[in-house]
Structure 1
Amino acid sequence: MRTTIVFNHPYEGSYCNAILDAVTRGLQKTGHEVDLMHLDSDRFNPAMSKDDLQAFVKHQAVDPQVIDYQERLKKADHLIFIFPIWWDIMPATTKGFIDRVLSPGVAYDHHPRGFGLIPLLKNLKSITVISTMNKPKIMYALLLGNLIRKVMIRSMFKTMGYKNSRWISFTSVKSVSREKRIKWLANLENRFSKFN
């Protein structure tokens, strides 16, 4: 199995980095090959240029980094996103990855009957989104309606035709105890050590 992780956090000491380590250890325990796309270390440019937009319409990327990411995604059995929630939604770099890399002709195509989309990443068995935030769970759910679930799971991946997608949300990260954060990491490692 090959699992691609799209990771976005610029600070090496972040809890997101600890999550990345725990998920990677779990996957490696069960024999997964892990392909890490570290958007910050790779200096991925999230901005859609004029050339990118023309390439998007033609279904033919022009940026070598985007092409590389797309070719690697085609080989993935599982896709995992790990990022912090800033101002109630994903960081700009993650959004840019979605805009520039998960493009038509690669991640999906328009249905020949003219309505709806069809998934093109045929190897992809599941998509997991793992996020962190400092806001309490109840506040994010009641006041904002769980935007990540709405935007990524229901709107984006479901619309593209990927039905096996899930969201793992860690909330109130700064205010919970160190012991709880450690327990979360242990549970993640255990969860992904059984991933297939």
Structure 2
Amino acid sequence: MNVVIVFNHPYEGSFGNAILNAVTNGLKGANHEIDLMHLDNDGFNPAMSKADLQAFVEHKPVDPQVIDYNEHLERADHLIFIFPIWWDLMPAMTKGFIDRVLSPGVVYDHHPRGFGLVPLLKNLKSVTIITTMNKPKIMYSLLIGNLIRKAMLSSVFKTMGYKRLQWISFTSVTSVSQKKRENWLINLENRFSKLN
């Protein structure tokens, strides 16, 4: 299985990087092919330019990096996003990836009858979003309203017609014990060693 990972965190010592390592180790243990798009290391520009917007309208990307990312997505059997939640949402690079890379004509298209969208990534079987945050789970759920679930699962992938969507959320990351974080990583590695 070809697993594409979209990773966004600028600090190499972050818990997000530890998550990336655990997920990668689990996938390697199951002999999956791993295709990493590290937005920070790649110097991805999240800002939509005039040329990007025109390309969006014409369903034909022009930015070489966006085209390259699109080619990676077209080969994906499973797609994983890993990023921190900052100010209750995704970082700018992840949002820019959604805006610039998940584009019409490549990832989805409008239904021929004019109602809704249809998915175009024929190999893609499932999408997993893994996030970290320092807020407690109940605060993010009750007071904030689980914005990542609404924004990425419902508004983006579900609207495009993709199924088997899941969100793994690690909360209160800086306040839990080191042992708990270690257990989270062990469980993640085991989980992705069984991905099918």
Q: Aligned equivalents of 1:113 and 1:84: distance in 2?
A: 38
Report the secondary structure of 2:56's partner residue: helix
Q: Percent identity?
A: 77
TM-score (norm 1): 1.00
Q: Aligned equivalents of 1:157 and 1:144: distance in 2?
A: 21
Report the secondary structure of 2:134's partner residue: coil
Q: Partner of 1:140 in structure 2? A: 140
Report the secondary structure of 2:186's partner residue: helix
Aligned-pair distance for 1:78? 0.3
TM-score (norm 2): 1.00
Q: Aligned equivalents of 2:184 and 2:141: distance in 1?
A: 20
Aligned-pair distance for 1:73? 0.5
Aligned-pair distance for 1:64? 0.3
Q: Aligned equivalents of 2:78 and 2:136: distance in 1?
A: 29
Structure 1: which amino acid aligns with 2:80?
A: I
Contact 2:125 2:163 in 1 (8 A): no
* Structure 1: stretches of 5+ with no match in the other structure: none
Aligned-pair distance for 1:154? 1.0
Contact 2:6 2:38 in 1 (8 A): yes
Q: Partner of 1:18 in structure 2? A: 18
Q: Aligned equivalents of 1:2 and 1:163: distance in 2?
A: 17
Report the secondary structure of 1:35's partner residue: strand
What's the CA shift string for 1:89-144, capped at 9, x where partnerless?
Answer: 00010000000000000110000000100000000000000000000000000001
Aligned-pair distance for 1:43? 0.2
Structure 2: which amino acid aligns with 1:62?
A: V
Q: Partner of 2:170 in structure 1? A: 170
Report the secondary structure of 1:115's partner residue: coil
What's the CA shift string for 1:130-167, capped at 9, x where partnerless?
Answer: 00000000000000110000110111110000021100
Report the secondary structure of 1:187's partner residue: helix
Q: Partner of 1:154 in structure 2? A: 154
Q: Tell me the matched-pair count.
A: 196
Structure 1: which amino acid aligns with 2:78?
A: H
* Structure 2: stretches of 5+ with no match in the other structure: none
- Give me the CA root mean square deviation: 0.4
